[in-house]
A and B are shown apart, each in its own frame.
Chain A
């Protein structure tokens, strides 16, 4: 537990450094490669960034949700389970603030993935959302195969956390809110139990919403 707290502190320190410089742009996380193309007879080098890969989950209404539903949207992803007694109530309380700030924005979504799909069936997620006071289609509670959820969490969403931390493993359980831009690139990770970091997230969402819409990706 001590180690975990210490790790979080280090990450928090890093994260707060990051957000201090570069006020109007946010870092882009993940692997990147340079790709050279020929455009109009000239060779042009572009940087291609890691993006969130294809996925398909089911939301609290029983609708199928895929990566396509997030095209051109800024979104926040997190991982939880409805019966989690430790950090999840705190995360939900903080995510409600994010929800309150952007629930009327058509270009914004929240994806809360359950890591306990056995218990958290679609009706259980619906009841949870209702009790939390969440309706509409801004905040989706997603259910899917456990392997799929863990794989996308560790290999895609939490890349920012991995880059910033020497702590090993178990990121899924640490309550991060991961910020993803309109092109599905990870742009930030925030400790979802820390009110201050969540305030920063709320500010950073605004920055990303102001970025230009991407050319439709194939």
Chain B
């Protein structure tokens, strides 16, 4: 009787572990997919301005490695990419007052490119999903 209970406990544990592991590898698989698609979008749509290393261009185009800024503006990044950005911003302690044009990208593509940006150039901010982007896009100013 005791023997059977142990087996049950062990197998339950095994199943739970398996679930967690597979779950995790699922999100990391999803992350990888977002990231690699995002890298391509970045190369064709953002790199000319922000640079292949995300370093921007002098005082004309800001760098994309200011994790504090990206975290603080997490919910407006989708709007920035979709509708462009104007006006004064502060990146890495430097002031920019330029104009970023809108990019005609689908919510999925926006999620992918944000995921790429948020996990490149020294940033480590994790995945941003299409659902989150769709929600954020409803609240653009």
Contacts and interface: CB of A to CB of B under 8 A. Distances in A.
Interface string A123-139: 00000101111000000
B15 to A, nearest CB: 53
Interface of A is mostly: helix
B89 interface: no
Nearest to B49: A89
B49 A132 contact: no
A32 interface: no
Interface string B34-67: 0000000000000011010000011111000000
A133 B59 CA distance: 8
A133 B57 CA distance: 10
A131 B58 contact: yes
Contacts of A92: 57, 60
Contact of B58 (A85, A90, A96): A96
A130 B59 CA distance: 8
A87 B49 CA distance: 8
Contact of B57 (A83, A87, A93): A93
Nearest to B60: A131
Contacts of B61: 89
Interface residues of A, number: 15
Question: What is the interface residue range for chain B against chain A?
Answer: 10 to 19
Contacts of B51: 93
Interface in A43-100: 83, 85-87, 89-90, 92-93, 96
Nearest to A87: B48
A132 B58 contact: yes
With a 10 A CB-CB cut-off, give which of A86, A89, A96, A133 has the most chain B CB atoms.
A89
Nearest to A90: B48
Interface in B64-106: 99, 101
A85 B49 contact: yes
A133 B61 CA distance: 12
Contacts of A90: 48
A89 B101 contact: no
A214 to B, nearest CB: 35
A193 B47 CA distance: 11
A130 to B, nearest CB: 8
A119 to B, nearest CB: 13
Contacts of B99: 83
A77 B106 CA distance: 39
Nearest to A131: B59
Interface in A119-158: 128, 130-133
Nearest to B97: A131
B60 A86 contact: no
A96 B51 CA distance: 13
A135 to B, nearest CB: 12
10 contacts: A83-B99, A85-B49, A85-B101, A89-B48, A89-B61, A92-B57, A93-B57, A130-B59, A131-B60, A132-B59
